[in-house]
C-alpha cells in the first residue's frame, strides 16, 4: 500500500509540474529524471510561479544545460530560500 501511495503522490506532483509548465513549448516533463536534465523544466517551473525573477527567453536560449541548471539553482536559493542540494554537473 505504501508503494501505491508513493506512486500516486508522484503522479499528482508530475501532473502539477506539467500543468505549471504547459505554456513553455520547449518543456515536456514526462518523468522526474531525464525531463529535468537540460535545465529547462526547472527554470520553467520557477518562471511560471515567479516570472518577475528572470527573463525566460534569455535563459531558454543559453546553450549549455549546466548554465540553465546553475541559473535555476541560484534563483531558487537567492529568491525562494531553497538550498542547492545538487550540483548541476
In a domain, 67, yes or no: yes
**Cα 84 to Cα 61: distance, rounded to the nearest angstrom:** 23
Helix (H) or strand (E) holding 41, with range, is helix 40-49
What is the domain-level CATH number for residue 28?
Answer: 1.10.418.10
Residue 5 pLDDT class (50, 70, 90 cuts): low
Output 5 or 85, whichever has higher pLDDT.
85
Does residue 87 sit within a domain?
Answer: no
Nearest to 17 by CA among 33, 29, 35: 29
pLDDT at 3 over 80: no
> Comparing 2 with 8, which gets the higher pLDDT?
8
64 within domain boundaries: yes
Q: What is the pLDDT of residue 85?
A: 74
The domain tally of the chain equals 1
Give per-residue pLDDT as tens, 16-75: 999 999 999 999 999 989 999 999 999 999 999 999 999 999 999 999 999 999 999 999
Range of the domain at 43: 8-80
Amino acid at each position: 500500500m505504501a508503494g501505491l501511495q508513493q506512486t500516486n503522490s508522484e503522479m499528482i506532483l508530475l501532473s502539477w509540474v506539467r500543468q505549471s509548465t504547459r505554456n513553455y513549448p520547449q518543456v515536456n516533463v514526462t518523468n522526474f529524471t531525464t525531463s529535468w536534465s537540460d535545465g529547462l523544466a526547472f527554470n520553467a517551473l520557477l518562471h511560471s510561479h515567479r516570472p518577475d525573477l528572470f527573463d525566460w527567453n534569455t535563459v531558454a536560449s543559453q546553450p549549455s544545460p549546466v548554465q540553465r541548471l546553475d541559473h535555476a539553482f541560484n534563483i531558487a536559493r537567492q529568491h525562494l530560500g531553497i538550498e542547492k542540494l545538487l550540483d548541476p554537473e
